[in-house]
Chain A
Amino acid sequence: MGASKLSGMQKQVLSLYRGFLRAARSRPIEDRKRIEMIVSTEFRHNSKEVDRKNFQYIEYLLRLGTKQLDQLKSPAIVSLSSIKVVTSKT
């Protein structure tokens, strides 16, 4: 099966995921591993649980995730308590 074209919303999700991984990269190694684990778990959980046709909810989760990413990028944030972000599979 050839690679399918990603939808616009899927690209947004992957872009957000990428942003989190980039932000984690600037953290000390212990923090970084924990952040990566949290982010990966949340994205994969939502990829299973969220109906990919529920566009309103996905857009809500994308906005929520973007806010949390902005917070993560801020040097004032020391820890990451919880993230709810959405993803979808090709």
Chain B
Amino acid sequence: MASLSTTSLSFKAPSTTISQVLRKASSSQSVTFGRFTSSTKSLRLQISCAAKAETVQKVSDIVKEQLALAADVPLTAESKFSALGADSLDTVEIVMALEEKFNISVEESDAQNITTIQEAADLIEDLVQKKPAAETS
């Protein structure tokens, strides 16, 4: 399987604590699995028609890898890409990485409307269900 690569970093977030944390930890590439499972599951109980917790978790992991976020940066379904320091180019890269991971094709008009992890997860599940024969890793 081809590995995902982070081609460049871009931290243009507004001057907030989150921004400072991101800059300090920008060299870290580690990814933690399952750390936020608890909060993700509780979120699912609160949101009707939300994407599966598993999908939200996978999306979070990919976003974290694409943006080279530190493992301890907390992500929730409502996390906005822009709040994590992503510019519009980063968002394009995130959507492309999600396409490869879930073996789907995202229309550009849909891609331009994605601003949070929840929105990405919802769209992914919708697209996966439209392709019954598609294999998801």
Chain A interface residues toward B at CB < 8 A: 1, 3, 6, 10-11, 14-15, 17-18, 21-22, 25, 29, 32-33, 36-37, 39-41, 43-44, 47, 87-90
Contacts and interface: CB of A to CB of B under 8 A. Distances in A.
Contacts of B92: 14, 17-18, 21
A34 B37 CA distance: 35
B5 A36 contact: yes
Given A29-B2, A37-B8, A89 B88 contact: yes
Interface string B74-118: 000000101000011100110010001000000010011001000
Interface string B24-36: 0000000000000
Given A25-B100, A44-B8, A18 B88 contact: no
A90 B7 contact: no
B82 A89 contact: no
Nearest to A3: B115
Query: Which of the listed residues B82, B89, B92 has the most CB atoms from chain A within 10 Å of its own CB?
Result: B89
Interface in B109-136: 111-112, 115
A44 B2 contact: no
A1 B89 contact: no
Contact of B112 (A11, A22, A40, A88): A11
Contacts of B89: 14, 17, 40, 43-44, 47, 87, 89
B41 interface: no
Contacts of B112: 6, 11, 14
Contact of B88 (A10, A32, A37, A40): A10
B85 to A, nearest CB: 12
A40 B8 contact: yes
Contacts of B5: 33, 36
Contacts of B88: 6, 10, 14, 87-90
